[in-house]
Each structure stands twice: as C-alpha cells, then as structure tokens.
Amino acid sequence: MADLSIDFAGIRSPNPFWLASAPPTNSGAQIHRAFEYGWGGAVWKTIGAPVLNISNRYGSLTLGGRRMLAINNVELISDRPLDVNLREIAEIKRLWPDRAVIVSAMVDADPQAWKDIVMMIEDTGADGIELNYGCPQGMSERGMGAAVGQVPEMCQLNTHWVTSVTRLPVIVKLTPNITHIVDPAHAALAGGAHALSLINTINSVTRVDLDTLLVSPSIGGRGTHGGYAGPAVKPIALNMLTELMTDPQVLRSGVPISGMGGIATWRDAAEFLLLGATSLQVCTAAMQHGYRIIEDLTDGLGNWMDDHGFNTIADVTGKSLPQMSTFGGLDLSHQSVARIDQNKCIGCDLCYAACNDTAHQCIDLVSPDGVTVDPGYDMRTNGRQVADTRPRPVVRENDCVGCALCANVCPVDGCITMVTVPSGRQSITWDELTAQRPDIAQSWAAMQAYREEVGIEIH
C-alpha cells in the first residue's frame, strides 16, 4: 500500500491531511478527537492579539440545492485565553508525538511582540509556527493578517522578526487578496521562511436576503465583508499554487508548500499534490461533515496512488506541473472537436442552446430522418414526448472550434467528449509565431493573411 507519510520542512506526520487553522482546531479537546479519527496534523486556531468575536459569524453559498458550496466567515482569531491555548497545545503534543502540531500566530507588527509569542510557542513543544498573513476581516483593520500579507515589505520584515528568534520551522500563510501571489512569496522567502501555505480566505460578501434586505451574516442588523472558503474557491487556490510552483525563485528555494482552499474529497487532495503541494489543509469540509471525513480522504488517496503506481506522496507531488504553460507556449495547431454519444444523450438540448446562443453555432438539431429542424420544432405530441421522433443534437465538426462549452454543460458523464483531430497545420506557439512574424500581433490584415495561408476559417 502507498505510504502517505510526509516530511514537511522537517515536520513529520503520518499522512498529508492537516486541519487548517480555523474553528475545527479551536481547542485541545477538538484536536484530540480529530487525531483519534486519524488526521495527520493540525494547525491550531490562530493565537496572539486579544480579540472579541461576534455572532452571527458565518454565511454560506447555496447553489442548485447544494448547501455550503462556500462559507463566508467574519470570525476572528482565537478568543480563548492565551495561557489556556498554550497549555492545551503542550498537552496535545505530549499525547500525540507522531502528529504534526503547528501553531498559527498573529500579533502586532512589532519585533518584541513576535519574539514574545514565538518563545511561548516554542515552550509548548509544537512542531512549527504558521504566520497568519491572510485573515481578511477584522484583524486586517488592525494592521495584522492580510494587511501584512498584502505588503511584501511588511511580509518580509515580520517574517524576519520570527525566523531570527526561533529554531522552529516557520510557515508563511499567504493571502489570496492580492494582485500577484508571487510577490509576497518572494518576500516571505527573503525573510527566511522555511515553507509557504496558501490560500487563506478570499474577501467576500456572499448574500443579501431578498425578503429582509439584510446582508448575510447579519450582526444586529449590520453586515460586513468576510473570508470566503470551501469548494467554490478550489480553482483559485490551484491557480495560485501553480503560480508559485512554476516560479523560478520559489523552485530554487526548495521550500515546500501546504495547499488549501476547497479540499473536500480525496480527488481534490490529489489535484493539489499533483500541482506541487506537499501537505494539505482542510477546513470547510470538516465543518460541514465532521472529522470522520479523514477516513475517506486517506483511503481514497491511498487507493488512487496504488492504482497509479505511486509509492509515496513525494512521487505524486508536482507530477502535473510540467504541463503548465503560459498562453504563449500553447500549440496553436492543436484541434479538438466535440462528439456526442447518441446512446447516452437524454435529449435535454442544453448543448444546443449553449452552443447556438453563447458559443459558435456548430450544433444542429437533426430529426431521425436526417433533416435539420427549426429550433421551434414541436418535440411533443398530445403533451407526451415521442422519443423516436425527437431531434437529436449533432455537431458540425468542420465548424466546431473545440471550445468545449457543450461538454461542460452536458449533465451526462461521457456523453460529449472532446476528441483530438488533425488540423493539417504545422505545430507552432503564439510566442514562436510572433517572434517570426511580429506584424501578426499588430495588424488585423497581417492576421487575416496568415489565417488564409494556413487554412484557418472563422465562421
């Protein structure tokens, strides 16, 4: 069986799944229970500056009947007494020496404040420190959290204050609320960070109640922005992860990355690993389903690794990164077309509507006798659908640009597939083409001439 254990900047855990710094890691009792279920590690809910929390604290996004597609929280860092947290951290590490116990910290941007909290954390026996530069609500207004992570100079300075006084591995947690995630990553490395983690929550307002007109969550009739997390943010997290894992400076540093942001299943976890993460942090899924999901996460990931011949997490990490490219490095000659399996088609015509209304008008509705019918064709007889006379969507492959919208809107798995076909054109990228013929990027006449030359027709 696959070995799921990891070594993350010297921090060892029996599997890569850590609970992220959040309500699921608010107390020793909770983390003890999580470890009993099998979690490989936990990042303690952020400790540091004194706070007062409010209620209500959470809003969520429901879409198509699916609840908690994302969660929006306005909760601050731990409001439990500092000495209580420190005592419980020490106790948990004593009880679970084989698990990763990382302490998230956030204090004022002051070297003495950082030194004080770091010394306290070291005394607990914790395995590492995560610097919370990501919290986008409440704490950022006080000059902490995202207020540090959004300013590379502050990120570097605060990180240096910590790394210069501790023997523990220091993980810098990056905020996604920034134009270019690479800039604070470089700053963290310059400050001596031993590892990076991302993404923290995204600034958001999730909902307005159309009956009461109140913003959710409503706190005494008022609302505010909060941190957005859960399955809906996974594509953003994966993009930012790949930005770091394809950055030459980050690669040269060799620092590991703890990936988070929408991990709800073992499949999500595998995607983060394939794009370069070494450890994985989970929050929203645990908040929705409880700690027991760890069994599905570890079993599913282990079985998938066995099926693909991966023996260790290191074998998986970054395996898909060589595919990543800028647009300029993509092959302009590649051609795909959509093909519809009529045996699987349920006749919903979503592909037809999507293609003809919002894409490239290359799907027709064709009757059983091969006649293309008008979109207004009456598909019902006496109020009952007649299956053998219903027209079916058919792709005109010569006109198909391979946008794949139809395959994405189709509700039936495997009904519409994108098939690679010969384009008849020589392989060339945009960067190569514009280097050879720079006028193509400047003149539509030159572009049209090139299209005619190589046989590209835009219908």
What are the residue numbers of the active site? Answer: 135
Q: How far apart are CA 71 and CA 60, in angstroms?
A: 4
Q: Which amino acid is residue 85, in one-letter code? A: N
Q: Which long-range contacts (CB under 8 A, 24 or more apart) does 65-68 make?
A: 67/288, 68/230, 68/284, 68/287, 68/288
β-bridge mates for residue 13, sequence order: 6
Place of tokens 């969550």: 217
Place of tokens 């909060």: 226
303, two tokens: 């079985």
Cβ partners under 8 Å of residue 328, min gap 6: 429, 430, 431
Cβ partners under 8 Å of residue 149, min gap 6: 133, 134, 155, 173, 174, 175, 177, 178, 184, 200
* Residue 153 Cα to chain centre, angstroms: 26
How many residues can be counted in the chain?
459
Q: How far apart are CA 420 and CA 335, in angstroms?
A: 6
The b-or-e profile of 245-282 (16+ CB within 10 A means b, else e) is: bbeeebeebebbbbbbbbbbbbebbbbbbbbbbbbbbb
Q: Which of 450, 429, 426 is nearest to 440 (CA)?
A: 450
Report whether 437 contacts 446 (CB < 8 A).
Answer: yes
Report whether 104 contacts 48 (CB < 8 A).
Answer: no
Half-sphere exposure of 385 (CA within 13 A, CB side): 6
87, two tokens: 């005592």
Strand order in the sheet with 202-204: 58-63, 66-73, 226-229, 202-204
